[in-house]
Structure 1
Amino acid sequence: MIEDKAIEDKAIGAKAIEDEAAARGDDRVADAALDRYGLSAQRTRRLINLSENATYRIDDPRTGRSGILRVHRADYHDRAAIESELDWMAALGADTDISTPSVVPTRDDDRVVTVDVDGVARHATLFTVVPGAEPDDAQLGAGTFAALGAITARLHRHARAWRRPAGFSRFSWDWPNSLGASARWGRWQDGIGVGDAERALLAPAAELVRARLAEYGTSPDRFGLIHADLRAANLLVDGDRLHVIDFDDCGFSWFLYDFAAAVSFVEHDPRLPEWQAAWLRGYRTVEPLDPADEQMLATFVMMRRLMLVAWMGSHAHSRECQEIGPGYTADSCTLARRYLQSAGHSLGPDSRAPGQPHDDTLTTPPRS
């Protein structure tokens, strides 16, 4: 009966996501965009993810063609920003052996399709299908994170050396646009289950994040173009190869923010120290890291965690929000307590600054 209920809940969740995509007009954008690619009338589309964008699996049995269509959310990226994302992906394909999807051009050789739906310009892009599957929980071990660290370092090396084309335009994941006045994903204070007790823990943690980021600075060796969402859901494992997908959030931020993105939604997992050590080990096979950089990892993880609390508050339709729910905020409070006890240096259960008494109760703060 428990399994039957889980299957029923999953089906209800999938139906809600499909309804949300239809309500946003994503289905109509997809159909209008697909007309530009010379596919047959037998083509099919299947919604496989709904987040900032709607992502569809496209199959055309008559031509044998398949692809992944990304319908961009209205008013999130303009066309220039999308073209810039594709420029970096193309450069990575030309300059490195990092595997990413290729863009499928339209019949008119456009990389981005713009269609009008209800008077709103909407954008879509078709990518090739990359082989493999995202890592499951059993694969989230030291080996995967070491490989991920090495790939991340290669991305950073390329970003530092690459001469970006004129007009390159991507947003920044700096303090104002992450957790400040212009937070792109909204306010963490509006997250699911955030009340007075939660704010009492999360607010000082956010302030400590801000202070440590300001002290760390944004010099070119620390801040530049990054993927910004390099987590398991955006990796495809194909034998011993890892393919990197979904550069939609790529932009300018601290390079080590990419580690925080790698542990998105699982920052409270007890394996975090093991994952971090493996990621650093892999990274250092490609690029050096100073101890001062390593000391900032807890701050970037706390920063990302607060951003995701905000994101879940405005993305109730997302797969992650439906799977995790209010417990994510409760666990975030535990991490905030540990972060504060360590003066911003750790998120582990024994986190505390030198000479500070231990006070990690691992209890969820009461709801207001």
Structure 2
Amino acid sequence: MTQPIYDDAFLSRIEDALRAALPRWGLSGESDLRLLTISENATFRAHDPATRRDVVFRVHRPGYHSRDEIDSELAWLTALGREEVVATLTPVPQTDGGLIAELDEGGTLRHAVAFELVAGREPAEGDDLARWYRELGAINARLHLHARGWQRPAGFTRKRWDYDAMLGEVKLWGDWRAALGLTREGRAVLERTATVLRALLDAYGTGEDRFGLVHADMRLANLLVEGDTLSVIDFDDCGFSWYLYDFASAISFSEHEPYIPTLQAAWIEGYRTVAPLADEDCAMLPVFIMLRRLLLTAWIASHAETPTAQALGEGYTHGTVDLARAFLATYDAPAMAAAGRVAS
């Protein structure tokens, strides 16, 4: 298990370091600075009464993204905003023009970036979620079309979210075997599920029509609704993966809810208003949902200090095992006759 880092002392140090750096973005020492969220990174909001500016800061988790990876994320984000592909965050440069700052946190350098505040609220279960997932499907299609045609700048580098990175040897978000409350029986179920997922994904392949640059974390917390506008924020996990993985990430932590098929149908409908989406691709959505669920189970185990992990705990693990059993009832026989069902 990854050693937790977001204890009170660590948060206090990075807040102090960020406060000292506020003048780099033209913010005064009178600015109110408060923590918004802790997930992969720590996010703060600053309000400067002197200039009436509101800026959101992301202080990066140590050891996760390199400076080149952060620079590449900002390059795509800037291109998406400039070409009006999606309503999203606008990076705020420092007074010297740079987008990435280095903060001295107790003698250790941390990367930090700033964004203009985006108006809106997170969609809630009481909303007409199907409406917003229909819009999200259209947004995903536009993102995917842009990713296919965009000339990436030299040196562009982002993580590759394939099977090895998620569940295989690399384990970017930890090992699901360390999941909270996982029993011996549950482990056996998840071991079989991981094996079946590999077979199905290997058969589906990573051709350029199926695999490319994606957002990779479009969960509700990264969506903002304001009037008729749906904004997508937090491209911190963008990288190279299956295009359909974007839907799986969009229902993060809700994979078990009975309304998910309705959201899936709405997402597909919205996607097809912008770009084609074959039935054989849609048939793979449950595979990506199970892949994401198992990855999130590992994330909770390796990020136990975060509020999300603490709120979900062992219950999420037990739910993962239940979903895996249902998944195997449909997709293992064995491994869909060596994954012939989804072969190109």
Would you say same fold, with TM above 0.5? Answer: yes
Aligned to 1:227: 215
SS of 1:243's equivalent?
Answer: strand
- For structure 1, which runs of at least 5 residues remain unmatched after alignment? 1-15, 346-352, 354-368
Aligned to 2:80: 92
Aligned to 1:66: 54
Contact 2:162 2:241 (C-alpha < 8 Å) held by counterparts: yes
- For structure 2, which runs of at least 5 residues remain unmatched after alignment? 337-344
Contact 1:20 1:317 (C-alpha < 8 Å) held by counterparts: no
SS of 1:139's equivalent?
Answer: coil
TM-score relative to the length of structure 1? 0.86
Contact 2:158 2:239 (C-alpha < 8 Å) held by counterparts: yes
SS of 2:97's equivalent?
Answer: coil
Distance 2:151 2:302 in 1: 36
Aligned to 2:293: 305
Which amino acid is 1:182 matched to? V
Distance 1:344 1:50 in 2: 37
TM-score relative to the length of structure 2? 0.92
Distance verdict in 2 for CA 1:185–1:280, change over 3 Å: same
Distance 2:9 2:256 in 1: 30
**Following TM superposition, by how much is the alpha carbon of 1:120 offset from its aligned partner in structure 2, in angstroms?**
2.5
SS of 1:122's equivalent?
Answer: strand
Contact 2:39 2:308 (C-alpha < 8 Å) held by counterparts: no
Distance 1:140 1:303 in 2: 26
SS of 1:342's equivalent?
Answer: helix
How many pairs were matched up? 332
Aligned to 2:284: 296
Q: Is 1:19 aligned to residue 8 of structure 2?
A: yes
Aligned to 1:159: 147
Distance 1:283 1:58 in 2: 36
Distance 1:29 1:214 in 2: 45
Which amino acid is 1:22 matched to? L
**Following TM superposition, by how much is the alpha carbon of 1:64 offset from its aligned partner in structure 2, in angstroms?**
0.8
Q: Is 1:128 aligned to residue 97 of structure 2?
A: no
Q: Is 1:77 aligned to residue 65 of structure 2?
A: yes
Identity, % of aligned pairs?
48
Distance 1:198 1:214 in 2: 24
Distance verdict in 2 for CA 1:240–1:96, change over 3 Å: same
Using CA pairs under 8 Å that are at least 6 residues apart, name the structure with larger relative contact order, 1 or 2: 2
Q: Is 1:181 aligned to residue 169 of structure 2?
A: yes
Q: Is 1:107 aligned to residue 95 of structure 2?
A: yes
SS of 1:36's equivalent?
Answer: helix
**Following TM superposition, by how much is the alpha carbon of 1:344 offset from its aligned partner in structure 2, in angstroms?**
6.0
Match for residue 117 of structure 1 among 95, 102, 105 = 105
Aligned to 1:338: 326
Distance 2:9 2:179 in 1: 20
**Following TM superposition, by how much is the alpha carbon of 1:187 offset from its aligned partner in structure 2, in angstroms?**
0.3
Deviations 1:290-326 (A, max 9, x none): 1221111111000000000000001122222222221
Aligned to 1:205: 193
- Name which of structure 1's ranges 114-123 and 34-43 shifts more when overlaid on structure 2: 114-123
Aligned to 1:53: 41
Distance 2:215 2:329 in 1: 31
Which amino acid is 1:320 matched to? T
Match for residue 261 of structure 2 among 273, 292, 296 = 273
SS of 1:185's equivalent?
Answer: coil
Contact 2:248 2:292 (C-alpha < 8 Å) held by counterparts: yes
Deviations 1:99-134 (A, max 9, x none): 111111111111110133334221000100001001
Q: Is 1:285 aligned to residue 273 of structure 2?
A: yes
Aligned to 2:248: 260
Contact 1:192 1:329 (C-alpha < 8 Å) held by counterparts: yes
Distance 1:21 1:263 in 2: 31
Deviations 1:134-165 (A, max 9, x none): 11111252111111111111110100010000
**Following TM superposition, by how much is the alpha carbon of 1:97 offset from its aligned partner in structure 2, in angstroms?**
4.0
Distance verdict in 2 for CA 1:117–1:17, change over 3 Å: closer
Contact 1:21 1:50 (C-alpha < 8 Å) held by counterparts: no
Contact 2:123 2:223 (C-alpha < 8 Å) held by counterparts: yes
Deviations 1:8-53 (A, max 9, x none): xxxxxxxx97726526x43233224323122111111110100110
Aligned to 2:339: none
Distance 2:115 2:332 in 1: 40
Aligned to 1:325: 313
Distance 1:169 1:318 in 2: 27
RMSD: 2.0
Deviations 1:158-178 (A, max 9, x none): 000100000101010011111
Match for residue 316 of structure 1 among 304, 307, 323 = 304
Q: Is 1:251 aligned to residue 239 of structure 2?
A: yes
Which amino acid is 1:307 matched to? L
Q: Is 1:214 aligned to residue 202 of structure 2?
A: yes
Match for residue 178 of structure 2 among 173, 179, 190 = 190
